């Protein structure tokens, strides 16, 4: 059934695990996540970005998720709006039936300009007021996602900033986080610790200077009852990059967030872990390999099947690694 995000994250906190939140855009991705969750006995957070709503169209996003609920009635599922850019976008998502929304007020509504703290407090509080009245959970974001190697924001997926930033802006401040939670009353807080969206996060396997897992512990100590959220949490598996490049792809050397670092973060209060890129890589690797090995095939179902299977495999692996097994 459709459940509230708050309920799922509270359970995760009580039992010390984290829930991957997977971005979905189409039928095969929704099916992959649901099948993975079924096999792992895990709860589900399906999230749709503005880009997903644009790609599939709002009725399709809505009904794909409704279909997941109908096909898997025993699995608790959250329908979450990822990176809402304004209170209006969040209101639209709630109207569509989402049980959880993210108001990303770290950037202004243009999705590019770094917002002032007061702006962020203002829009997030507005969304909390409107959402809580309807039983909808709210995620906010404080700090700017971006690289501590290049000191730049992540613009790769089109809704970040690429301006040069200070270490201060790229790392969420624990004291400010406490004030933010107090003033907005949100349920979950996305924090900046050096991760960024997309495949190009780190030029080497990250160490503490460029991936600030310790910072999470400090934030959690100040706001222990706020669920923390990690964006840009794909691990960018090297074996998937190798398959893509073996079959005609051209992806440069790059590194993601190691699973063991996420497991550490879960110990420090991270409850929701956003993953999109790993699914993209898994599906692309599977399609490239299948079509290279079967140049005579042209039935879309034939190449979508291995893509869906590859997506399921990585989702199930993350459910198990983050401690979700049997928690649904």
Binders in 163-192 for ligand 13P, by CB under 6 A? none
Q: How many CB atoms lie within 10 A of CB 60?
A: 16
> How, if at all, do strands 44-48 and 77-84 pair?
parallel
Which residues are within 8 A (CB) of 182 and not within 5 positions of it... i.e. 6 or more apart? none
Binding site residues, ligand G3H, CB under 6 A = 23, 49, 51-52, 82-83, 157, 159, 197, 276
Residue whose CB is less far from ligand G3H, 223 or 257: 257
CB atoms closer than 10 angstroms to residue 51: 16
82 is known as an active-site residue: yes
Our CB check for Na ion shows the closer of 111 and 249 to be 111
3 state SS of 150:
coil
Q: Which is nearer to ligand G3H, 147 or 327 (CB)?
A: 147
In 3D space, the residue among 258, 313, 323 whose CA is nearest the CA of residue 281 turns out to be 313
Q: Is 276 annotated as a binding residue?
A: yes
- β-partners of residue 140 are 103, 189
CB 110 within 8 A of CB 122: no
**Cα distances (angstroms) measured from residue 270 to each of 80, 136, 184, 189:** 17, 20, 19, 9
Closest distance between Zn ion and the C-beta of residue 45, in Å? Answer: 13
Known binding residue 232? Answer is yes
The minimum distance between CB 104 and ligand G3H, in angstroms, equals 9
Q: Which of 10, 82, 187, 239 is catalytic?
A: 82
User: Per-residue contact track with ligand 13P, 12 to 51, x per CB under 6 A?
Assistant: -----------x----------------------------
* Interaction site with Na ion (CB under 5 A): 154, 157, 159-160, 197
Tell whether 141 is in a known binding site: yes
What torsion do the CA atoms of 35, 201, 237, 298 make, to the nearest 10 degrees? 70
Segment near Zn ion (CB under 5 A); pick from 9-17, 67-75, 152-160, 269-277: 269-277
77, 122, 186, 270 from 9: Cα distances, Å: 12, 24, 13, 10
Comparing CB distances to Zn ion, the nearer of 231 and 271 is 231
Q: Which does 234 bind (CB under 5 to 8 A by kind): Zn ion, ligand 13P, Na ion, none?
A: ligand 13P
Write out the H or E segment, with its range, that includes residue 166. none
Which partner, Zn ion, Na ion, ligand G3H, none, binds residue 280 by CB below 5 to 8 Å per kind? none
Give 12 or 123: the residue with its C-beta nearer to Na ion: 123
Find out whether 233 is annotated in a ligand binding site.
yes
In the stretch 252-291, what mask flags binding to ligand 13P with x, by CB under 6 A? ----------------------xxxxx-------------
Residue 160 interacts, among ligand 13P, ligand G3H, Na ion, none and using kind-specific CB cut-offs from 5 to 8 Å, with: Na ion
**106 sits near ligand 13P (criterion: CB under 6 A):** no
Q: CB count, 10 Å around CB of 325?
A: 15
Is 275 assigned a ligand-binding role in the annotation? yes
Burial class (CB in 10 A: 0-12, 13-18, 19+), 119: middle
For residue 47, give both structure tokens. 């999230």
Helix axes 87-96, 58-71, angle to 10 degrees: 50
CA distances, 27 to each of 64, 244, 268, 281, 313 (Å):
7, 22, 34, 17, 16
Binding-site residue set? 83, 104, 141, 197-198, 231-234, 274-277
Judged by the rule CB under 6 A, the positions of this chain that interact with ligand 13P are 23, 82-83, 197-198, 231-234, 274-278
Catalytic residue annotation: 82
């Amino acid at each position: 059934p459709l459940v509230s995000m708050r309920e799922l994250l509270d359970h995760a906190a009580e039992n010390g695990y984290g829930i991957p939140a997977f971005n979905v855009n189409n039928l095969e991705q929704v099916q992959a996540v649901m099948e993975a969750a079924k096999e792992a006995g895990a709860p589900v957070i399906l999230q749709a970005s503005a880009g997903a709503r644009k790609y599939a169209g709002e009725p399709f996003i809505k009904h794909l998720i409704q279909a997941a609920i109908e096909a898997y009635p025993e699995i608790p599922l959250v329908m979450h709006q990822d990176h809402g850019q304004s209170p209006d976008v969040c209101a639209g998502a709630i109207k569509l039936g989402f049980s959880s929304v993210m108001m990303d007020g770290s950037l202004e509504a243009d999705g590019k300009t770094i917002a002032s703290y007061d702006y962020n407090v203002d829009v997030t509080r507005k969304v909390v007021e409107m959402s809580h009245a309807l039983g909808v959970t709210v995620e906010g974001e404080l700090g700017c996602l971006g690289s501590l190697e290049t000191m730049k924001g992540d613009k790769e997926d089109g809704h970040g900033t690429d301006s040069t930033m200070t270490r201060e802006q790229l790392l969420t401040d624990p004291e400010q986080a406490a004030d933010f939670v107090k003033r907005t009353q949100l349920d979950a807080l996305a924090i900046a610790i050096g991760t960024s969206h997309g495949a190009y996060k780190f030029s080497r396997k990250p160490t503490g200077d460029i991936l600030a897992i310790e910072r999470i512990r400090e934030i959690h100590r100040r706001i222990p009852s706020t669920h923390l959220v990690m964006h840009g949490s794909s691990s960018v598996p090297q074996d998937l990059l190798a398959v893509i490049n073996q079959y005609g792809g051209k992806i440069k050397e790059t590194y993601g967030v190691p699973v063991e670092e996420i497991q550490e973060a879960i110990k420090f209060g991270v409850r929701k872990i956003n993953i999109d890129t790993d699914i993209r890589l898994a599906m692309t690797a599977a399609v490239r390999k299948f079509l290279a090995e079967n140049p005579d095939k042209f039935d879309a179902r034939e190449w979508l099947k291995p893509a869906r299977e590859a997506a399921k495999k990585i989702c199930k692996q993350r459910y198990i690694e983050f401690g979700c097994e049997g928690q649904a």
